[in-house]
Structure 1
Amino acid sequence: MDLYFVKRSLVERYGEGLPDAASGAVALLDHRVIPDGMPVVLGADMRPVEPLFSWFRYLAYLGREPDTMRSYAYVALRLADYLATRDRDLFSVGEGDLLAYRRQRLELQPVPIDQVTWDREASTINGLFRWMTEVGLLRRGPLRMPKAYGTGLLHGLQVRHLSLDQYLFLRDVGLGGQRPDGEVDVAFRGGFPHRNRAAAELALMTGMRKREWSTVLLPELARRPGGPADFTLQACAKFGRRREAHVPAAPLDLVDTYALLERAEIVEKAACRLARQHRELFVVDSVDQGRGRLSGVLGGRRRTFTMAAMPAGLRQITVRECPGGLEAMAVFLGQGGLMLSASSWDRIRRHAWERMIAFAEHGQAPVLPRKPWRFHDLRHTFALRLLKHLTEVLIERELRRADRRPLVTLAEHISMNPLLVVQRALGHASPRTTYEYLAYLEDPMNYIDEAFRAWADSDGASYADIAIQLLDGERIA
């Protein structure tokens, strides 16, 4: 079995000159019988494999994002390939087959996956069989207890955050091509350091997810001279949850520097290439900043979109006519002149990590974690710094007015509550997710080091000595 993904632009580009097949394929896409971005699994006869084809189409009609469906597709295809080795398929699979597959993934394969990854896969597999049961393809699911197919562990939020020294090392040395002493590193072979530094600053100072900050359009960052910018996030936000994004002046200043020194060069070099793709692009000729709308031509038709409602795929092909030719409206561009993909950002991050590790081996770096940093760690850093700052501000405010009016109104509590403020800024659906950051406001290891500092400095102190002192203290108490 082979996995493919529907892409309308390729059908239109390579279908020209073909008689009925290409026109029929485009008609299917137009009527959303096969939505753009949907996974398609083909068998040896090059025909769609059921029930996966119908399941993917069902997910596409539910509005699942292409990236989500892609991950589902790989999970389902791995399972189908494994079942084929046991002369089984998705219609004849039994509970024993699925339990054997779980053991294969967690224990027996050359590189076993962790429990968190398996729980995500188990949820996808359960969803597939639940759908097959609901539509009548199976009388009942193969698992007697579907919920038990996962590990049963509760996975809390894995918060990883950076100190100021670590962040500056990541931004300026790893991504920005500087040396640890602040000098320019002539040996740096990374591309567009100003772009990468601006992206890191935008991610940190706004708390946006990678899918959000990496797909921002230039009109969304419009601001008053020297001031901040505010715009609405929705289509690119998790679960399409609407919220307002506030961008301080600092990251906007770095974006301006990148636009002046690097982006203009990228645009100029890519103009001819984009001109050849004109028919595949959304060419904007009108920007309504007040309403947050873009108008132009897409697929030969006049279209108007609200920027907040534009998904990542549409943002990636959004361009505008300029004196020098077509220019992408995305803020962060790759060498091809269009928005960088998620995999491109991951490659940039990996190269930055390798660079930081090289300096760390020579003692020229702050303490680095065992696992490479992710861009999402900048979101965690934003949440913790903001939560800690707001808590300190609230405590100071309460202390100043304690003699006058110690009780606050409900409205004041809601507007000033640090957890609720951070929840709104991050776009969490539930405050429960934001609560998990509380455990990371203070590092208990620092208190342990401080508590035993005097004992560790004393000559000849052993664990036995410490234990005796503790026991003596309890007897006295």
Structure 2
Amino acid sequence: MFERRRLPAGTPILLDDQMRPIEPVSSWFRSLGLDTRDPDTMSAYAYAVVRLLGFLAKRGLDLASATETDIKEFRQWRTSASKAPVQKTTVIKDSAAIKSLYRYLQNTGVVEASPWRSESDGNRRVARDMRVRHMELEQYLYLRDIGFGGLVPDGGLDLSFHGWRPHRNRAACEIALLTGMRIQEWSTLLLPELGLLDGGRPPTTQVDLAACAKGEYPRSVYVPRDAMELLDPYLLLERPQMVAAAQPTLRKKYRDLFVVDRIEADGERVQGLFEGQRVTWVVKAMNPELRRLCVRETGDGLEPLALFLGRGGRMPTFSGWDRARWRAWSRMKELTADRTTPLLPRRCWVYHDLRHTFALRLLIFLTREALRDAEAQELPMSSLLDHMLGNPLLVVQRRLGHARPSTTYKYIRYLKDPMQEVDAAFRDWTAAGGASYATIAQKLMDLGGADASQG
């Protein structure tokens, strides 16, 4: 089996004042990289460790000499005494980094015992509630077309818009929404998986996920017609320009790329040269780092096989997609709001909100269909087999790739908007049906007689 030995892009390296790697932290990050740890996770670990090193340095300590008390006081400093105190959830992330680091230091003999201890209040562990933030149709279209697409609210073009690759970003939003894929899943798609090589464009398609799925949990994803159609402007207008502009960069990195010269089984397998060896890969088994290196030699140059491209012809990183998201958010917030502008949340939309929207809309639709079918059959309860085959929660669980039904179950509470229920319950309470506060006060003070003595 072919095994890659190089570190993934985004593996952190900490340097001292003399630009030398700080050990043993850099070796720890190298071990995380070789274990294919997610680059965003390693980046978060790096910031946590930098803060810990700074805290210990002020005490004249290092990682090997720190005690359990030092680590505990570091936690307290993060939540209360630092210039920017953080929430407990952030400290939990810091603790994950410290725990992993000291486990490595103990395994490599740098320390005999880890000073890190998990905090426990003696109570049973309570699972953290999943926050499901979803969009209404008007909010989604505003994000896709106004924020990412550079249009103005009336549908016209904004000639002052200077965003980068609006067709790519709109198409990415549509695929994320209509498939329910996570960002690591849709952002690492390859052209062969969608049948988009050599001018082909099927009306719909299925994508098999494995190596790029969370926990490498395999599932099949349906890509509907609308998502495929919104790819057309990007594939016809923007992507060819990006490929042409990237040729010098791709040629310089030719020896580091996976140059595919044969695609088999309708895009399910690829063959080519990588690091001087001829290799064959099942596409769904290719991890994100290998996908970023995938190109094909054509008569006109090197064609990246990644669906979504950034500068240099490579897949955009998570931070690259985040920059696009924040630019879209800033644009939406800066535009003059009127009665046609949809309500925006207090915090910036994230791509995972599109996945939540997919799950909730699909669950609502399937629930209504199940109720309609039961009503049409005039049955008080569906048969067990029908329930097992058509249960909306089980269908959504399969579509989302949730390992446990309990995760999908948390969407049930969002089938109805609780805020609308609150509004309805208290609609007649507001200002006593239109009376002024002075009128209300006067009535309360003028109860008279026995009524005034009642509690």
Contact 1:116 1:155 in 2 (8 A): no
Q: Which moved more, 1:102-111 or 1:188-197?
A: 102-111
Matched, 1:431 2:379: no
Q: 1:461 to 1:450 in 2, by over 3 A?
A: farther
Q: For 1:98-177, what aligned pairs fall within 5 Å after superposition? A: 98-133=71-106, 137-143=110-116, 145-147=118-120, 154-177=127-150
Q: Which moved more, 1:222-231 or 1:89-98?
A: 222-231
Residue 195 of structure 1 aligns with which residue? 168
Q: Residue type of the partner of 1:313?
A: E
Q: Residue type of the partner of 1:333?
A: L
Cα distance between partner residues in 1 of 2:58 and 2:187: 41
Q: 1:456 to 1:147 in 2, by over 3 A?
A: closer
Deviations 1:98-131 (A, max 9, x none): 1221122222323222222221221222233345
Contact 2:98 2:116 in 1 (8 A): no
Cα distance between partner residues in 1 of 2:127 and 2:335: 37
* Alignment partner of 2:365 out of 385, 389, 393: 389
Contact 1:219 1:289 in 2 (8 A): no
Residue 414 of structure 1 aligns with which residue? 388
Q: Residue type of the partner of 2:115?
A: P
Q: 1:79 to 1:229 in 2, by over 3 A?
A: same
Q: 1:297 to 1:79 in 2, by over 3 A?
A: same
Matched, 1:358 2:330: no
Cα distance between partner residues in 2 of 1:406 and 1:190: 53
Contact 2:397 2:405 in 1 (8 A): yes
Matched, 1:284 2:257: no
Deviations 1:442-462 (A, max 9, x none): 111101211222343712176
Matched, 1:448 2:452: no
The DSSP-based 3-state class of the residue aligned with 1:336 is: helix
Residue 10 of structure 1 aligns with which residue? none
Which runs of 5 or more structure 1 residues have no equivalent in the other structure?
A: 1-29, 467-477
Contact 2:188 2:307 in 1 (8 A): yes
Residue 316 of structure 1 aligns with which residue? 292
The DSSP-based 3-state class of the residue aligned with 1:158 is: coil
Q: 1:96 to 1:256 in 2, by over 3 A?
A: same
Cα distance between partner residues in 2 of 1:144 and 1:356: 45
Cα distance between partner residues in 1 of 2:231 and 2:265: 19
Contact 2:262 2:272 in 1 (8 A): yes
Q: For 1:22-101, what aligned pairs fall within 5 Å after superposition? A: 32=5, 35-37=7-9, 38-43=11-16, 49-101=22-74
Q: 1:353 to 1:208 in 2, by over 3 A?
A: same
Q: Residue type of the partner of 2:424?
A: E
Q: 1:301 to 1:186 in 2, by over 3 A?
A: same
The offset of 1:309, in angstroms, is 1.3
Cα distance between partner residues in 2 of 1:240 and 1:425: 15
The offset of 1:260, in angstroms, is 0.8
The offset of 1:270, in angstroms, is 2.1
Matched, 1:274 2:247: no
The offset of 1:352, in angstroms, is 0.6
Cα distance between partner residues in 1 of 2:252 and 2:35: 34
Cα distance between partner residues in 2 of 1:384 and 1:361: 27
Q: 1:309 to 1:226 in 2, by over 3 A?
A: closer
The DSSP-based 3-state class of the residue aligned with 2:211 is: coil
The offset of 1:147, in angstroms, is 4.4
Residue 448 of structure 2 aligns with which residue? none
Q: 1:268 to 1:291 in 2, by over 3 A?
A: closer
Deviations 1:23-81 (A, max 9, x none): xxxxxxx994x745554445567665444345434434544234433332332232122
Cα distance between partner residues in 1 of 2:429 and 2:22: 68
Compute the RMSD of aligned alpha carbons: 2.9
Q: 1:66 to 1:345 in 2, by over 3 A?
A: closer
Q: Count residues in correspondence.
A: 434
Q: Residue type of the partner of 2:330?
A: E
Cα distance between partner residues in 1 of 2:7 and 2:327: 35
Q: 1:31 to 1:431 in 2, by over 3 A?
A: closer
Cα distance between partner residues in 2 of 1:298 and 1:237: 24
Q: 1:291 to 1:352 in 2, by over 3 A?
A: closer
Q: Residue type of the partner of 1:86?
A: R
Q: Which moved more, 1:105-114 or 1:178-187?
A: 105-114
Contact 1:177 1:193 in 2 (8 A): yes
Contact 1:360 1:366 in 2 (8 A): no
Q: Residue type of the partner of 2:425?
A: A
Cα distance between partner residues in 1 of 2:120 and 2:104: 15
| TM-score normalised over the length of structure 2 | 0.87
Q: Which moved more, 1:35-44 or 1:392-401?
A: 35-44
Deviations 1:333-375 (A, max 9, x none): 1232222221111111111111101124466521111101111
Cα distance between partner residues in 2 of 1:329 and 1:31: 19
| TM-score normalised over the length of structure 1 | 0.83
Residue 435 of structure 2 aligns with which residue? 460
Aligned-residue identity in percent: 43
Residue 213 of structure 1 aligns with which residue? 186
Cα distance between partner residues in 2 of 1:331 and 1:31: 23
Matched, 1:341 2:317: yes
* Alignment partner of 1:400 out of 372, 376, 396: 376
Contact 1:126 1:146 in 2 (8 A): no
Q: Residue type of the partner of 2:168?
A: R
Which runs of 5 or more structure 2 residues have no equivalent in the other structure?
A: 445-455
Q: Residue type of the partner of 1:331?
A: L
Contact 1:455 1:461 in 2 (8 A): no
Cα distance between partner residues in 1 of 2:336 and 2:356: 23
Contact 1:177 1:188 in 2 (8 A): yes
Residue 274 of structure 2 aligns with which residue? 298
Cα distance between partner residues in 2 of 1:106 and 1:220: 46
Deviations 1:279-316 (A, max 9, x none): 12111111114461111111222121111111111111
Q: Residue type of the partner of 1:228?
A: T
Q: Residue type of the partner of 2:354?
A: L
Residue 21 of structure 1 aligns with which residue? none
Cα distance between partner residues in 2 of 1:369 and 1:266: 34
